[in-house]
Amino acid sequence: MEVTSEVLLDLHRRMVRIRRFEEAAGTLFENSEMPGFIHLYVGEEAVASGVCAALRVEDQVGSTHRGHGHLVAKGGDVSRMMAELMGKSTGYNHGKGGSMHICDLDLNMLGANGIVGGGIPIAVGAAFANKYKGSDAVSVVFFGDGATNIGAFHEAINMAAALKLPAVFVCENNEYGEFTPRRQTMAIDDVVDRAAGYGIPGVVVDGMDAIAVYEAATEAVARARAGHGPAFIEAKTYRYYNHHGVQTLGTKYRDDDEVARWRERDPITLIEQRMVALDIASTEELEATHRRIQADVDAAIEFAKSSPFPEPESLLEDVYTGGA
Partner 1 sequence: MTATDTASATELRNLGYGAAFTETLRQIMAEDEDVFVAGEDVGAAGGVFGSFTGLQAEFGPMRSVDTPISEQAIVGLGIGAAVSGLRPVVDLMFMDFVLVAMDQIVNQAAKLKYMFGGNTSLPMTITTNAGAGLSAAAQHSQSLEALLCHVPGLKVVMPSNSHDVKGLLTASIREDNPVVFIKHKRLLGQKGHCPEALFEIPLGRASISRPGDDLTIVTYGRMVSESLKAASVLAGEGVDVEVIDLRTLQPVDTDAIVASVQRTNHCVVAHEAVRFGGLGAEIASHVQEHAFDYLDAPVGRVGAPFSPVPFTPALESLYVPDAARIAEGVRSTLARS
Ligand X SMILES: Cc1ncc(C[n+]2csc(CCOP(=O)(O)OP(=O)(O)O)c2C)c(N)n1
Q: Which of residues 129-148 bind Mg ion (CB under 5 A)?
A: 144-146
How far apart CA 54 and CA 77 sit, in angstroms, is 19
Q: Is residue 224 at the binding interface for its own copies, with CB under 8 A as the rule?
A: no
**Cβ of residue 313: shortest distance to partner 1, in angstroms?**
10
Q: Which stretch in 90-98, 122-130, 143-151, 227-235 sits in contact with ligand X by CB under 6 A? A: 143-151
Question: What is the sign of the dihedral through the CA atoms of 42, 141, 98 and 144?
Answer: negative
* Shortest reach from residue 208's CB to ligand X, in Å: 15
Q: Candidates 30-38, 91-99, 139-147, 160-168 — which segment interacts with its own copies by CB under 8 A?
A: 160-168
Rounded to 10 degrees, the C-alpha dihedral 297/298/299/301 comes to 90
Which pairing describes strands 167-173 and 139-144: parallel, antiparallel, or unpaired?
parallel
Q: Which does 234 bind (CB under 5 to 8 A by kind): its own copies, ligand X, Mg ion, none?
A: none
Which are the contacts of 319, defined by CB distance < 8 A and separation ≥ 6? none
Q: How far apart are CA 293 and CA 285, in angstroms?
A: 12
Q: How far is the CB of 103 from ligand X (least distance, A)?
A: 17
Please give the Cα distance from 16 to 21 (Å, whole number): 8
Tell me the one-letter amino acid at 31. N
188 near ligand X, rule: CB under 6 A: no
Q: Provide CB contacts within 8 A for 126, sequence distance 6+.
A: 60, 62, 108, 110, 139
Query: Is residue 109 a contact partner of residue 96, using CB atoms and an 8 Å limit?
Result: no
Q: Binding partner of residue 155 among Mg ion, ligand X, partner 1, none, CB under 5 to 8 Å per kind?
A: partner 1
Subset of 102-121 contacting ligand X (CB under 6 A): 114-116
- # binding residues, partner 1 (CB under 8 A): 76
- In angstroms, the CA 47 to CA 236 distance is 9
Query: In whole angstroms, how close is the CB of 243 to ligand X at the nearest point?
Result: 6
Q: Write out the DSSP string of 30-93.
A: HTT-S-S-----TT-HHHHHHHHTT--TTSEEE--SS-HHHHHHTT--HHHHHHHHTT-TTSTT
- Which of 39, 68, 194, 236 binds its own copies (CB under 8 A)? It is 194
What residue 315 binds from its own copies, ligand X, Mg ion, none (CB within 5 to 8 A, per partner kind)? Answer: none
- Out of partner 1, Mg ion, ligand X, none, what residue 193 binds, judged by CB under 5 to 8 A for its kind, is none
Q: Say whether residue 226 binds its own copies (CB under 8 A).
A: no
Q: Is 203 among the residues that bind its own copies (CB under 8 A)?
A: no
Which positions lie near ligand X, rule CB under 6 A?
A: 65-66, 114-116, 143-147, 172, 174, 176-178, 243
